[in-house]
Amino acid sequence: MSRQDPTHLRSYRWYGPDSLRAFGHRSRARQSGLGDSDFAGKPVVGILNTWTDLNSCHLHFKTTVEAIKRGVLQEGGLPMEIPVMSCGETLTKPTSMLYRNFLAMEAEEMIRANPVDAAVLLGGCDKSTPALLMGAISAGVPAIYVPSGPMIKGNWNGQVLGSGADVWKYWDERRAGNLSEEEWREIEGGIARSPGHCMTMGTAATMTALAETMGFSIPGSSSVPAMDANHARLAAEAGRQAVRNAWEGPRPGELATRKAFENAVVVDMALGGSTNAIVHLLAMAGRAGINFNLDDFDVISRKTPLLADLRPSGRFLMDDFYGAGGLCALLNRMGNLLHLDVPTVNGMTLGENITGSRVFNDEVIRNCDNPLADDGGTAVLRGNLAPDGAVIKHSAATPELLQHTGPAVVFEDYNDLAARIDDPELEVSADSVLVLRNAGPVGAPGMPEWGMLPIPKKLLEQGVRDMVRISDARMSGTSYGTCVLHIAPESAAGGTLAAVQDGDLITLDVSGRRLELDVPEDEIKRRLAASDERTIAYARGYTKLYTEHVTQADRGCDFDFLEGDEPTPEPEIH
């Protein structure tokens, strides 16, 4: 596409013609104080900004967006900031996952409905990354993803604190009576010390790394801490690159290829990334029309070594990862496991981008011949309890529990769990298998991060810190423990999970990739037929739309009507 011919720009349809409508668009641009030299024939870069006071991970986006605008102007484009919803992980209830598809729809529609020639997507906190990318893939306009970067390390009494992982750890100690109220408050004051996303290898760090791996970000940007000056420098470069891409592409669909998804899973496994990445990548692949499923994760996991020693699976935090060379160094180290010929947003291949990147700390980023584990951190399970699949992050589990048979202790839903888990009369032992149902995409709704079920208090007091837990929920990327997640179909959709009763034996066999309920099939059928249908009643609103159209975890929990790569017609302008 010629850079000299503005009629090739999408925004020309709004601003260029000699028509009544274009007159209106131009006159309103002048209302903004713009003139011919500002917008005539220049690529319009829409900057989708997920800033809000409600999302502390994105607080610095007010200044990041200025850096992006500076880059756009430097390259001869016109920046237009577009506020979109944020779905921050901590405050959005009942779960930010309920709103991932909402943001994805908003991103897609805002790009398509407006004179946007290229988009810059500003995200980081868990769901914002997949949501923005899902929307951009469906919109089909060139897009660059700018990650927020991780916050600085937490600190308490000279100890390093990691987001999420240390919350769960110290909360268990508090429930066991080992931490005073004052110490607990000190931890509260030291665990989140700056803007930026969680600095463990949780969902945010996982998804931003995978976005970069897939070619959606300026190389190196996902590892840069939010408060590092390189964050603004790379944001400005994203702005410059967006102007070039408005003319020349690539479009998101050219990046979201099967090879790119395979690369993303390889890197997810090498990082010991969040189990949430599975749901998000499946949803993104669905948008791109790529045939990619749970079995692809398991196949890749079995042959990918775990190389990054990052919490919650390992010891270090994102700042250490950055200092060790960051994602580019990791990618270069494992180059022979990746498709290096895939394109990226800067016009170079992945292989060209990472050439020369070096690892500076072999403890944080291991050598391929000295991995933390020979296979990836996540396994896909099947069996009569999960005919359509379930997942476990075994790299963050207790090795002795990965082959386990125990009696079920069943919780009907989260309220039942909260009411009884610490009851001294609860019949439970360290060998029990805790079961939570009605926590899936439809049943909860929104598939909240309830999958790291709390250890019963009386077992905590006996020193138990892990046990087998199974559910149709997700768990935070910063969580750990022997937790089987994403059971599909979920109990509210008629899955076997709905038939489990207290005392039934459940077998977890991670090496055999099995999850089985030791109850005859005809008895399971009888129980399911006799079980009361749980009423999911939302008479109106977004949650009604959600529960009627969300897909199961093995399809990524997207809306059924948003899947697929059928092009949506460009809006008429008249």
Give the interface with ligand FES as residue ranges (CB under 6 A).
Answer: 57, 89-90, 125-126, 163, 197-198, 202, 204
> By C-beta, is 125 or 500 nearer to ligand FES?
125
Q: Is 330 within 8 Å of 308 (Cβ atoms)?
A: yes
User: What H or E segment, with its residue span, contains residue 108?
Assistant: helix 100-113
CB of residue 90 to ligand FES, shortest distance in Å? 5
> By C-beta, is 97 or 493 nearer to ligand FES?
97
CB of residue 444 to ligand FES, shortest distance in Å? 19
> By C-beta, is 126 or 298 nearer to ligand FES?
126
> By C-beta, is 43 or 150 nearer to ligand FES?
150
CB of residue 155 to ligand FES, shortest distance in Å? 17
> By C-beta, is 245 or 478 nearer to ligand FES?
478
Q: For residue 567, give both structure tokens.
A: 């092009």
> Which 3 state secondary structure label does DSSP give 190?
helix
Rounded-to-10 torsion of CA 64, 67, 69, 75: -140
Q: Is 14 within 8 Å of 115 (Cβ atoms)?
A: yes
Q: ω into residue 571 within 30 of 0, thus cis? A: no
Q: What share of the chain is helix, strand, coil (3-state, %, to 5)?
A: 40, 15, 45
CB of residue 409 to ligand FES, shortest distance in Å? 30
Phi, psi (5° rounding) for residue 404?
-155, 140
CB of residue 191 to ligand FES, shortest distance in Å? 11
CB of residue 202 to ligand FES, shortest distance in Å? 6
> By C-beta, is 43 or 477 nearer to ligand FES?
477
> By C-beta, is 126 or 466 nearer to ligand FES?
126
Strand 468-471, strand 483-485: pairing: parallel
Burial class (CB in 10 A: 0-12, 13-18, 19+), 51: buried
> By C-beta, is 100 or 112 nearer to ligand FES?
100
CB of residue 200 to ligand FES, shortest distance in Å? 9
Q: Compute the C-alpha angle 193/194/199, nearest 5°.
A: 80
Q: For residue 160, give both structure tokens.
A: 């390093």
CB of residue 550 to ligand FES, shortest distance in Å? 22
Q: Is 153 within 8 Å of 199 (Cβ atoms)?
A: yes
CA dist 110 and 139 (Å) reads: 9
Which region holds residue 150: left if phi is over 0, alpha if psi is between -120 and 50, else beta? beta
> By C-beta, is 164 or 556 nearer to ligand FES?
164
Strand 78-83, strand 44-49: pairing: parallel
> By C-beta, is 471 or 478 nearer to ligand FES?
478
Sheet holding 433-436, edge to edge: 379-381, 390-392, 483-485, 468-471, 433-436, 403-411, 505-509, 514-517
CB of residue 89 to ligand FES, shortest distance in Å? 4
Helical H segments across 114-228, by residue range: 128-139, 165-175, 181-190, 203-213
CB of residue 345 to ligand FES, shortest distance in Å? 23
> By C-beta, is 46 or 446 nearer to ligand FES?
446
Nearest to residue 524, comparing CAs of 497, 561, 546? 497
CB of residue 353 to ligand FES, shortest distance in Å? 25
CB of residue 311 to ligand FES, shortest distance in Å? 13
> By C-beta, is 206 or 357 nearer to ligand FES?
206
Beta bridge partners of residue 64, listed in sequence order:
none
Rounded-to-10 torsion of CA 145, 146, 150, 151: -140
